[in-house]
Amino acid sequence: MRVVGIEGLCGGVGATSVAAGLAVALNEMAVRTIALDLNAQNHLGLLFGMPLEQLEGLVNQPGPLVNSVLETHEGYPFMPMGVARSVQERARFEASFAQRMEPILATKERILVVDAPAAPGPLREWLDIHADLMIHVIQPEPRAVPALLAFERDRMPQQEASGRRARILINGVAPHLQLANDMLVFLQSEIHRDRLVPVVIHRDQHVAEAFAKQQPLVSYQYEAQAARDYDALALWLIGYLAQHDHTDATQPHGAS
């Protein structure tokens, strides 16, 4: 199974929506994909129609973690984080997570799209070890500048030292807004093209509306611009992983 992590470079940039949209788009293309929530906010499941009152998930699953895999009526599989009942319950979950994930990584599912944890700890360490690719999400807004500088100072050197592959995805693009458009041009000029995903996700009111309706975006509005962008992102990812399958057969892991 290939593991793809989705992480916001700062809060509120839409990383969870990107994770859900990408997982759905891959499944629509017959690439069997599970969306996994490792973010303590437990929001990913809401984008798949999980009831607000449902607090159960991975963190309080007493049996095999595969028992936490749920499916929408369209057949999109996802694994909600759930809400820990106590600090001790969360600590036990984090301590056993890596070992309990091994059977899932060995399944026939082809891709695991992970909504990355926001804070350092065992879950992020697991993702850093297992991710074939980390996609870091940013929006074209003033907050992007300090977030990008912090990423280049802290996370990027760690990734390069460990040979991990990473790309930056620009989300929430709004060409009709002057500031957003100026920031987009600035980011595209500042970030090396080899580090940018060659796809952008446009700002689309249907994303928020689908979240409010607790439906996958394509189920709420199939023709939404963001849905088409997620399709483009999925196609790029399929090609990227196929390319690096070939590269990994001829080069040491981490060469890109």
How many structural domains compose the chain? 1
- Per-residue pLDDT, 249: 45
- Per-residue pLDDT, 61: 92
- Per-residue pLDDT, 245: 73
Q: Would you say residue 86 lies in a domain? A: yes
Q: Would you say residue 30 lies in a domain? A: yes
Q: Would you say residue 4 lies in a domain? A: no
- Per-residue pLDDT, 170: 94
| pTM over 0.85, yes/no | yes
User: CA distances (Å), 35 to each of 85, 137, 150, 166, 209, in order?
Assistant: 23, 17, 27, 19, 20
Q: Would you say residue 81 lies in a domain? A: yes
Q: Would you say residue 198 lies in a domain? A: yes
Q: Tens digit of pLDDT for each residue in 71-95?
A: 999 999 999 999 999 999 999 999 9
Q: Would you say residue 24 lies in a domain? A: yes
- Per-residue pLDDT, 254: 44
- Per-residue pLDDT, 252: 44
What are the residue ranges in the chain where pLDDT is below 70?
246-256
- Per-residue pLDDT, 255: 44
- Per-residue pLDDT, 158: 76
Structural domain boundaries, residue 123: 10-250
Q: Would you say residue 1 lies in a domain? A: no
Q: Would you say residue 116 lies in a domain? A: yes
CATH number of the structural domain spanning residue 184 = 3.40.50.300
